[in-house]
Amino acid sequence: MRRLHLKDHRAEQRLFARRAALAAALAVLAIGTVAARLVQLQVLEHQRYSTLSRENRVRLVPLPPPRGLIFDRNGTPVAENRPAYRLEVVPEEVPDLDAMLERLGRVVTLRPIDVERFRALAARKPRFEAIPLRLRLSEAEAARFAVHRHEFPGVDIAVRPARHYPAGPLLAHVLGYVARIDADDLESLDPVEYRGTSHVGKLGIERAYEPLLHGRVGMQQVEVNAQGRPLRVLERARPRPGRNLWLTIDLRLQRAAQEALGEASGAVVALDPRTGEVLALVSAPSYDPNLFVNGIDPAAYRALAHDPDRPLFNRALRGRYPPGSTIKPFMALAGLEAGVIAPGTTRYCPGWFVLPNDERRYRDWKRAGHGVTDMYKAIAESCDVYFYDLAVRLGIDRIHGFLARFGFGAGTGLDVVEEARGLLPSREWKRRARGQPWFPGETVITGIGQGYLLATPMELAAATATLAARGVRVRPHLARAAADPGGPPEPLRFAPEPPVRLAEPRHWEAVVRAMVRTVHGRDGTARGIADAPYRIAGKTGTAQVFGLAEDEEYDPETLAERLRDHALFIAFAPADDPRIAVAVVVENGGSGGAVAAPVARRVMDAWLLRGGGAARGTAP
């Protein structure tokens, strides 16, 4: 305030008064300009606009773009637009709406929800506009209605394109589905672009590539009469159709993977480790996405939602499983990289492991023990004790740091939004999430992929692909190219992840050798699939669904099926020039070697024996 004395207040006030007067003049001028414009429009040009308004009533009618088609990598259509018979009613042409609905209900099926939706729409729209009553009539219903049509003035059948998924449940967890736009969608969608569009991608590819598949809305100017009834089209801007999309999925491989799983619940993810292309992605059981396109009826939805096998749950992307022994190759690499072990380093496995100053015994799956064990044997025979010991020597911090480089716990950045992240525990995580310090015993079981460690099948497949590519990390993706209808396909690009570099690159080969021995070695845990005409590098895993007490014996016979162990298997082949990397989880399947490995083998056969991936980067 003291400094105010330095000011010449009178001069300042005069200055301000001048500027304020100038501003006032500016305000008068600006408002005056608008006023002059209003005089121009409302007085001078009034006649013209009045005529335009009275006689030339032009209304804008949106023309929704046809949605882009989706093909598998070989060009087989997997999402298409099929004409659907739609039953429409123009209320003003119906003498008695209630009586009509009553009679119509005897010709075609009218569920209460259909009538309810129709009435809600009818209340909001002009009476001369056609309002859908049923979105998809069966052929039989359409035929039956055609016979009775003369009895129903104001009711007619319109043919509109509707989304159809010919592969049905086989690709539901990849494609997702489109469904009618609801109030939530309206908040996030561009109101102009979606004028006239009735459906929007809700899940999967349909959702992730919505902007690309949707296209641009077209408009036509229609002259209407005083009541708003269309008279003729004045001008037309065609809609720009949505772009067509090619998936990385191979439908035949997808089917082979689905069939290999059989009736079991579980997931299969197959990647091309050189490109990140997802060749197959199966989550079983699945559901028919076609049910959702035109509004699933509530009873059917309840049945799906409450099914104990959870068909709506995307196990491949959202299922978080303990990786079990499939983590061992990565643990071995961590040990080699840290210099804690060398490939030839041996430990003695008596069938159990104890921490110093602790009496708890961590048991090996093989009660008698594996005896003297080096890294190769430890992986091939899945010796737990070797990895208990290794984990303790590494410590949780180094384990966390190394596994993070493979993307564990971080998701893979797949090009659909619903992918979940696994869990890569650390001291810091435990303090934050559990409010507790990290206990040494937890490090021990992390060594065999138990405890807090969780991974999605997608993460496991991506990490396996990284092993296969000796550290090169690609970004998994489900879409490979897009094209305007009739235009040439343009490949989509996905930025790769930073590679995993080892101080000693030969350690990659050591671990791969151990994984080959898992399949092709005499005592390998996956020797059941060794008769393949190519070399496989793999690792079995068994994930406990519930914990056993120290002395309890795991006996699958006495356990309810839902509590049985999950069977896991990761693999890539051919071992020296991998063209496919696979992760398999069979829920409650029991042993990884006996149950999950054969599934992976059938998937790899279906790809490699057919020459899949032999030619790289073929255009769709």
In DSSP terms, 572 is beta-bridged to 537, 581
Region near other proteins per CB under 8 A, out of 12-20, 92-100, 448-456, 537-545: 12-20
**Minimum CB–partner distance for residue 204 and other proteins (Å):** 14
**Minimum CB–partner distance for residue 37 and other proteins (Å):** 5
Stretch 458-477: interaction string toward other proteins, x if CB under 8 A: --------------------
Q: Give the residue among 351, 340, 405 at the shortest CA–CA distance from 375.
A: 340
Considering the rule CB under 8 A, would residue 31 count as an interface residue with other proteins? yes
Q: Given 265, 283, 286, 325, which residue is catalytic? A: 325
**Angstrom distance (rounded) from CA 54 to CA 449:** 76
Considering the rule CB under 8 A, would residue 23 count as an interface residue with other proteins? yes
Considering the rule CB under 8 A, would residue 49 count as an interface residue with other proteins? yes
Residue 35 or 354 with smaller CB distance to other proteins: 35
Residue 5 or 506 with smaller CB distance to other proteins: 5
Q: What secondary structure, in 3-state letters, does 343-385 show?
A: CCCCEEECCEEECCCCCCEEECCCCCCCEEECHHHHHHCCCHH
What phi and psi values does residue 279 have, to the nearest 5 degrees?
A: -85, -35
243 touches 65 (CB < 8 A): no
Considering the rule CB under 8 A, would residue 30 count as an interface residue with other proteins? yes
In DSSP terms, 219 is beta-bridged to 62, 237
Region near other proteins per CB under 8 A, out of 53-61, 146-154, 282-290, 526-534: 53-61
Residue among 76, 81, 221, 346 that touches other proteins (CB under 8 A): 221
Considering the rule CB under 8 A, would residue 300 count as an interface residue with other proteins? no
Considering the rule CB under 8 A, would residue 355 count as an interface residue with other proteins? no
In DSSP terms, 315 is beta-bridged to none
Residue 218 or 574 with smaller CB distance to other proteins: 218
Neighbouring C-alpha atoms within 13 Å toward the C-beta of 247: 29
Our CA angle for 519, 520, 526, nearest 5°, is 25
Residue 40 or 109 with smaller CB distance to other proteins: 40
Bridge pairing between strands 537-543 and 566-573 = antiparallel
What is the DSSP code string of 27-94? HHHHHHHHHHHHHIIIIITHHHHHHHHHT-EEEEEEEPPPPPPEE-TTS-EEEEEEEEEEEEE-GGG-
Residue 59 or 430 with smaller CB distance to other proteins: 59
Torsion 362-366-370-374 (CA) sign: negative
228 touches 459 (CB < 8 A): no
Residue among 99, 159, 404, 417 that touches other proteins (CB under 8 A): 417
**Minimum CB–partner distance for residue 423 and other proteins (Å):** 19
Q: Which two tokens stand for residue 339?
A: 């210099």
Residue 92 or 523 with smaller CB distance to other proteins: 92
Considering the rule CB under 8 A, would residue 522 count as an interface residue with other proteins? no
Residue 137 or 479 with smaller CB distance to other proteins: 479
Count of chain residues binding other proteins (CB under 8 A): 57
Considering the rule CB under 8 A, would residue 558 count as an interface residue with other proteins? no
Q: Give the residue among 90, 121, 87 at the shortest CA–CA distance from 105.
A: 87
Collapsed DSSP state (helix, strand, coil) of residue 182 = coil
Residue 58 or 120 with smaller CB distance to other proteins: 58
442 touches 451 (CB < 8 A): yes
Known catalytic residue at 198: no
Considering the rule CB under 8 A, would residue 547 count as an interface residue with other proteins? no
Considering the rule CB under 8 A, would residue 231 count as an interface residue with other proteins? no
Considering the rule CB under 8 A, would residue 50 count as an interface residue with other proteins? yes
Residue among 60, 159, 404, 609 that touches other proteins (CB under 8 A): 60
327 touches 453 (CB < 8 A): yes
Considering the rule CB under 8 A, would residue 53 count as an interface residue with other proteins? yes
Q: Which residues of 561-586 are buried (b: 16+ CB within 10 A; e: fewer)?
A: eeebbbbbbbbbbbbeebbbbbbbbb
**Minimum CB–partner distance for residue 276 and other proteins (Å):** 19
Q: Which two tokens stand for residue 417?
A: 């939004």
Considering the rule CB under 8 A, would residue 54 count as an interface residue with other proteins? yes
In DSSP terms, 81 is beta-bridged to 163
DSSP label of 614: S
Residue 80 or 129 with smaller CB distance to other proteins: 129
Considering the rule CB under 8 A, would residue 495 count as an interface residue with other proteins? no
Residues 181-210 interacting with other proteins (rule: CB under 8 A): 187-188, 192
**Minimum CB–partner distance for residue 194 and other proteins (Å):** 14
Considering the rule CB under 8 A, would residue 226 count as an interface residue with other proteins? yes
Residue among 41, 159, 231, 305 that touches other proteins (CB under 8 A): 41
Stretch 236-275: interaction string toward other proteins, x if CB under 8 A: -x--------------------------------------
CA 227 from centre of chain = 47
Residue among 6, 140, 549, 615 that touches other proteins (CB under 8 A): 6
**Angstrom distance (rounded) from CA 326 to CA 409:** 15
Considering the rule CB under 8 A, would residue 305 count as an interface residue with other proteins? no
What strands, in cross-sheet order, belong to the sheet with 278-284? 278-284, 266-271, 580-586, 566-573, 537-543
DSSP label of 268: E
Considering the rule CB under 8 A, would residue 354 count as an interface residue with other proteins? no
Catalytic residue numbers, as ranges: 325
Residues binding other proteins (CB under 8 A): 1, 3-10, 12-13, 15-17, 19-20, 23-24, 26-28, 30-31, 33-35, 37-39, 41-43, 45-46, 48-50, 52-54, 57-60, 187-188, 192, 218-221, 224, 226, 228, 235, 237, 417
